[in-house]
C-alpha cells in the first residue's frame, strides 16, 4: 500500500472540516475532506507548540496544541506513539515544531458535530525560518485549491475527470467534487483572506506569491456568474509580502502603525521580563509612558502571542520566546 501524501493545510481550513470518508476493510485509509476539497489522510504542519498536557491522571495520553496564522491544531498522542509522546513532553513550550500526522475525528453523539484533530507520527523542533517557508508553501497549496474549486463551480455538474484534464491532481479533483456535494455555499473570498492574513506573518520582502484578487460578487452569485468569468489570478504580477503585510492597514489609514506598536510592546517586554517574565502591570505602565493606550497594548499583545513571539508562562506574566 502506498504511503499517503501529507497535505499542507492551514488550521482555519482543517478545523472547519465536517466530511469524513471511512475506508472499507481493515487496512483501508480514512479521509477528511476539507471545504476546499483537500482529501486528507495525513498532514504536514509547522507552527508554535503552545502547550502539552496529560488528558487524565495516570494516562500516557497527552493533548497538545499547535498554533498557525489562522487557528490552532489539536494533537492527541499516547503509548502507541510513545516516542512522539515523549518528544512532545520534552519540548519546552513555546517552540516552533514540525509535525507529520494522521487525521483523527471525534463525534460526541450520533448525528452531532464532528471534531477533527491530529495523531502525530513524528515531531521535530524547527526554526522560525522553516515555519515561514511552510506558511508560504501552504498559501500556495491553498491558492491551488481555491482555483480548482472556482473551476468546478463553473461546470454544470462538477466532474473529477474534467478537473483532472485542466491540470489538477486526481486526489484534489476527487476531493473538490466531494466538497461541493457536502458543503453549502463555500465562500472562496474567505480563504483568499485567510491567505492574505497568513502572509502578514512572514518577513517582508523575503518571498512572493502570485496575486489573488478577491471576487467582488456576493457568494450566492458566484456559481451563476462563474460560467462567464475566469479566475482572477495574475501570474505576471506577484504580491510582495511587504505590501501584503500592510495592505489592509493602509486602507484603514493606519500605514503600518500596528507593526510599530507591536515592536514597541515587544521591546518593553524584553527589557523588563528577567528570568520569570514581565508582569502585566509593569508592561502596561511602561507602555502608557511610551504613549500607548490600553486597547493598543492589548491588540499588540494578542498579535505577538499569535505569532509565537510572546507567551504567558503564568497568568498575568508575559515572556518572549
**6-7 and 42-54 strand pairing:** parallel
Average pLDDT estimate for 30-49: 94
Give the least confident one: 120-129, 148-157, 252-261: 252-261
In this prediction, residue 188 carries a pLDDT of 93
Does residue 128 register a pLDDT over 60? yes
Cα–Cα dist 55/242, whole Å: 41
Beta strands in 34-128 (DSSP E): 39-40, 42-54, 62-68, 71-77, 95-106, 115-125
Higher pLDDT: 231 or 62? It is 62
Would you say residue 175 has pLDDT above 80?
A: yes
- pLDDT reported for residue 124: 94
Q: What is the pTM of this model?
A: 0.65
* pLDDT tens by residue, 249-264: 443 444 357 778 888 9
pLDDT(26) > 80: no
> Any idea which of 98-107, 127-136, 158-167, 302-311 has the lowest mean pLDDT?
302-311
Confidence check: pLDDT of 289 > 60: yes
pLDDT given at position 153:
92
Number of C-beta neighbours around residue 68 at 10 A: 24
Looking at domain 6-128, its CATH class is mainly beta
Is the Cβ–Cβ distance between 218 and 187 less than 8 Å?
Answer: no
pLDDT at residue number 227: 39
Give the domain ranges of the chain.
6-128, 133-251, 257-303+312-320
Amino acid at each position: 500500500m502506498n504511503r499517503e501524501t501529507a497535505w499542507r493545510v492551514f488550521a482555519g481550513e482543517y478545523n472547519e472540516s465536517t466530511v469524513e470518508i471511512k475506508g472499507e476493510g481493515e487496512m483501508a485509509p480514512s479521509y477528511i475532506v476539507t471545504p476546499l476539497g483537500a482529501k486528507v489522510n495525513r498532514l504536514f504542519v509547522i507552527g508554535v507548540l503552545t502547550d502539552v498536557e496529560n488528558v487524565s491522571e495516570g494516562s500516557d495520553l497527552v493533548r497538545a496544541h499547535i498554533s498557525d496564522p489562522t487557528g490552532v491544531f489539536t494533537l492527541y498522542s499516547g503509548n502507541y506513539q510513545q516516542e512522539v509522546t515523549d518528544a512532545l513532553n520534552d519540548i519546552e513550550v513555546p517552540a516552533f515544531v514540525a509535525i507529520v500526522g494522521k487525521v483523527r475525528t471525534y463525534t460526541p453523539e450520533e448525528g452531532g458535530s464532528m471534531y477533527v484533530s491530529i495523531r502525530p507520527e513524528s515531531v521535530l523542533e524547527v526554526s522560525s525560518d522553516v515555519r515561514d517557508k511552510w506558511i508560504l508553501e501552504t498559501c500556495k497549496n491553498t491558492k491551488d485549491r481555491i482555483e480548482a474549486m472556482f473551476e468546478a463551480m463553473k461546470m454544470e455538474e462538477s466532474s473529477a475527470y474534467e478537473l483532472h484534464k485542466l491540470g489538477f491532481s486526481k486526489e484534489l479533483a476527487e476531493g473538490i467534487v466531494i466538497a461541493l456535494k457536502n458543503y453549502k455555499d463555500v465562500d472562496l473570498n474567505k480563504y483568499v483572506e485567510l491567505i492574505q492574513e497568513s502572509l502578514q506573518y512572514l518577513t517582508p520582502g523575503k518571498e512572493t506569491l502570485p496575486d489573488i484578487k478577491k471576487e467582488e460578487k456576493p457568494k450566492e452569485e458566484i456559481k451563476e456568474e462563474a460560467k462567464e468569468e475566469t479566475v482572477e489570478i495574475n501570474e505576471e504580477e506577484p504580491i510582495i509580502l511587504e505590501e501584503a503585510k500592510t495592505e489592509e492597514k493602509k486602507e484603514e489609514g493606519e500605514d503600518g502603525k500596528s507593526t510599530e506598536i507591536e515592536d514597541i510592546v515587544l521591546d518593553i517586554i524584553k527589557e523588563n521580563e528577567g528570568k520569570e517574565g514581565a508582569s502585566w502591570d509593569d508592561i502596561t505602565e511602561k507602555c502608557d509612558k511610551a504613549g500607548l493606550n490600553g486597547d493598543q497594548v492589548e491588540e499588540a499583545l494578542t498579535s505577538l502571542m499569535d505569532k509565537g513571539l510572546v507567551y504567558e508562562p503564568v497568568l498575568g506574566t508575559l515572556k518572549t520566546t
